[in-house]
Structure 1
Amino acid sequence: MLRIGLTGGIGAGKSAVAARLAELGAVVIDADRLAREVVEPGTPGLAAIVEAFGADVLAADGSLDRPKLGKIVFADDAARARLNGITHPLIGALTAERAAAAPPDGIVVHDIPLIVEGGSGASFHLVVVVMATEEIRLRRLTELRGMPIEDARARIAAQATDEQRVAAADVLLDNSGALPQLRAAVDALWEDRLVPYASGIANGVAAEAAGAPVPADLERAAARLRNWLHRPDLRVEQAGPLELRAFLADADEVRSVGKALAGSGWILDGTRGSTARSADPGQPTRLVLAVAP
């Protein structure tokens, strides 16, 4: 299963990309939607919130009064942490449930506004960032959503910068033009990279180098390896534009790490258990598992 993190600043057009990916066959999991689902009337989530904050956070119809709860938690770090302690596990469980329903060669898109701000990019095989200039985003927010210009500027300023998004992105989708252009870019990404990447993971087939692939980004690749293997101190170095080296304590650890790569996007070389190749056709990188000198 291929897991994609989809993000972008407010007004950039992330929802349009998510909608097109869903049309193409992706399982789209909208984090904001799940956050609303877990606190709907009658849910354990809403009951826990009422227990923690009192019945005053309910609207007249028994639903959660979000503005009222917002005033409480955004003015109090402890209250916000208490709310997150209730909702985050519920959202995580629902996310896992939706993802598990996808086929083995499926493409699961996690639509999350704050991937960059939350530093969660390493949890995904790829991070796709939708971009548009600030001028265009301001126009969309004011003209299409009716947002006051100062509110729009404040919302944009509160999020990650364009430079931070570019640094976190494996794929950048420019949505400064017309919608058909964006859809064409999403279609090309789907056919040329996402579908073969998902198939490679499901079938254990590494990508073949073709054309001029983008050199591996050491920081992002290393973060993903550490996250997948639950080894935050794993030493990873760049040995070439499309080659990484990960250093382990001994040969037994090399073998155990190699087996643990299943599903990570790295396909272990059956004839040489100390090497693996990526199933990502956009970055057909080689990984060498080496014993530290």
Structure 2
Amino acid sequence: MLRIGLTGGMGAGKSTVARILAERGAVIIDADAIAREVVAPGTEGLAALAQAFGPEILAADGSLDRPALAARAFADEESRKKLNSITHPLVGKRTTELIDAAESDAILVQDIPLLVESGMAPYLHLVLVVDVDAETRIRRLVEFRGVPEADARARISAQATDEQRHAVADVLLDNSGEPGAIEPVVRRLWEQRLVPFERNLRAGTVAARELRLVPADPEWAAQAQRLIARLAAACGSAAIRIDHIGSTAVPDLPAKDVIDIQITVADLAAADGLRDALGAAGFPVKAHLAHDNPKPTGADPAGTDTALWAKRVHGSADPGRPANVHLRVEGSPGAEFALAFRDRLRADADLRSEYLTVKRKAEAAAADSSGEAAAEAYYAVKEPWFDDVYERIRGAAD
């Protein structure tokens, strides 16, 4: 099951995006709808709210008077926290029931207004943020929903900022245009990313990637941090540390659009023990390839320390964000070299230039092949160069 988080500020148009996804076949779990369900007349939730905020929040027919509750619950931070402490556990319980009822191959979209505030992002496979600036959202709430402007501003100010939402967004959906403009965007997202992502996740398949260099992307660092947060949630205490490594961790260095992450573990048994958890989080194990476990030949001419260079490799099932996840043992030559090489590249412009030249030669060598043959041609050029670089970095450390 592929679990997608959908969020955005009030008035951004989450319901529009949810409708389009539902029409394509997604299972929608609407946190607002659940929030209404758990405080319906006769529920324990409504009774708890009345006790906390007073009988004035009840309408004449015994149902919840939402404007009256909002006036009290959003008046200050303490009141808002009290509201959340009552409703969030009830919403969570009902959400779990609905998730458990969904089919195993579902693309399940959780419409969660407070996704950022609740810290849910690392526990979802992908986060979609419907993006509209605050002033436009306020205007929509006033004009189309009849919300008083002061109330609209108070509610929006109590939610996450645009910057906080952007930080967790794997996909930003700009809904500031004309009505209907977002529909083809969401349909392409469904067909080109969500459907293949779910298929790869179910099959335990790593998404295909291109062996092509692209200009450095300033978003790589933020994308890596989102991957690291998901990996940390999946690994728990088994991960000693998690780092962004490789070329995408070096500002301004052209690279393949594949983010490399290193998870440091106590031993290979710990790495193997994470196989299922990482697979479920969207990072299935990769089939063993010769270049997945590179060991500079100069590191050990006799071949006696091969085990010290051993690692486990997982990849991203998400076709929209290719990634390699390397699990290495703490203190091993491979783990230490990955970090030292990254740091040396960041500090040494000459080494960056030298490495880019090698990368371009590798790209050219792979251009006439495809699949694993292209990968082998690519790494056949790079790996001899790494022998020399390993010796240089090790010499500098000594």
- C-alpha distance 117-88 of structure 1, shift in aligned 2 (>3 A): closer
Which residue of the other structure, out of 280, 284, 287, is the alignment partner of 2:318? Answer: 280
Which residue of the other structure, out of 254, 262, 266, is the alignment partner of 2:271? Answer: 254
Cross-structure match for 1:39: 39
Q: Deviations over 1:21-47 (max 9, x none)?
A: 111111111111101101212333334
Cross-structure match for 1:228: 234
Stretch of structure 1 that moved more, 114-123 or 150-159: 150-159
Contact 2:239 2:264 in 1 (8 A): no
Query: How far 1:275 sits from its partner (Å)?
Result: 1.1
Letter paired with 2:264 = F
Stretch of structure 1 that moved more, 173-182 or 64-73: 64-73
Stretch of structure 1 that moved more, 190-199 or 11-20: 11-20
Query: How far 1:271 sits from its partner (Å)?
Result: 3.9
Query: How far 1:176 sits from its partner (Å)?
Result: 1.6
- C-alpha distance 158-84 of structure 1, shift in aligned 2 (>3 A): closer
Q: 1 or 2, which has the higher helix percentage?
A: 2
Matches of 1:227 and 1:179, distance apart in 2 = 38
Matches of 2:142 and 2:78, distance apart in 1 = 34
TM-score, normalised to structure 1, is 0.87
Q: Deviations over 1:227-276 (max 9, x none)?
A: 22333964111122321110111122111122322311011135488111
Q: Deviations over 1:121-167 (max 9, x none)?
A: 11211111111234433432232223344444444444333322222
Matches of 2:103 and 2:19, distance apart in 1 = 19
Stretch of structure 1 that moved more, 137-146 or 239-248: 137-146
Query: How far 1:222 sits from its partner (Å)?
Result: 1.2
Note if 1:113 corresponds to 2:113: yes
Cross-structure match for 1:203: 203
- C-alpha distance 161-81 of structure 1, shift in aligned 2 (>3 A): closer
Matches of 2:132 and 2:53, distance apart in 1 = 39
Q: Deviations over 1:171-201 (max 9, x none)?
A: 0111121233200000010001001101111
Contact 1:12 1:130 in 2 (8 A): yes
TM-score, normalised to structure 2, is 0.66
Matches of 2:152 and 2:74, distance apart in 1 = 19
Matches of 1:53 and 1:255, distance apart in 2 = 51
* Larger radius of gyration between Structure 1 and Structure 2: 2
RMSD of aligned Cα (Å): 2.8
Cross-structure match for 1:126: 126
Query: How far 1:92 sits from its partner (Å)?
Result: 1.1
Contact 1:39 1:45 in 2 (8 A): yes
SS at match of 1:253: helix
Cross-structure match for 1:244: 261
Letter paired with 1:263 = A
Please list, as runs of the form range in 1=range in 2, the aligned pairs for 1:8-27 lying within 5 A after superposition: 8-27=8-27
Please list, as runs of the form range in 1=range in 2, the aligned pairs for 1:150-161 lying within 5 A after superposition: 150-161=150-161
SS at match of 1:208: coil
Contact 2:74 2:155 in 1 (8 A): no
Query: How far 1:97 sits from its partner (Å)?
Result: 1.4
Cross-structure match for 1:87: 87
Stretch of structure 1 that moved more, 256-265 or 229-238: 229-238
Letter paired with 2:31 = A
Matches of 1:164 and 1:112, distance apart in 2 = 15
Structure 1, unaligned runs of 5 or more: none
Matches of 2:76 and 2:177, distance apart in 1 = 41
Letter paired with 1:238 = H
- State the identity %: 50
- C-alpha distance 129-54 of structure 1, shift in aligned 2 (>3 A): closer
Query: How far 1:64 sits from its partner (Å)?
Result: 2.9
Stretch of structure 1 that moved more, 213-222 or 27-36: 213-222
Query: How far 1:286 sits from its partner (Å)?
Result: 0.8
Cross-structure match for 1:266: 283
- C-alpha distance 256-39 of structure 1, shift in aligned 2 (>3 A): same
SS at match of 2:105: coil
Matches of 1:234 and 1:102, distance apart in 2 = 34
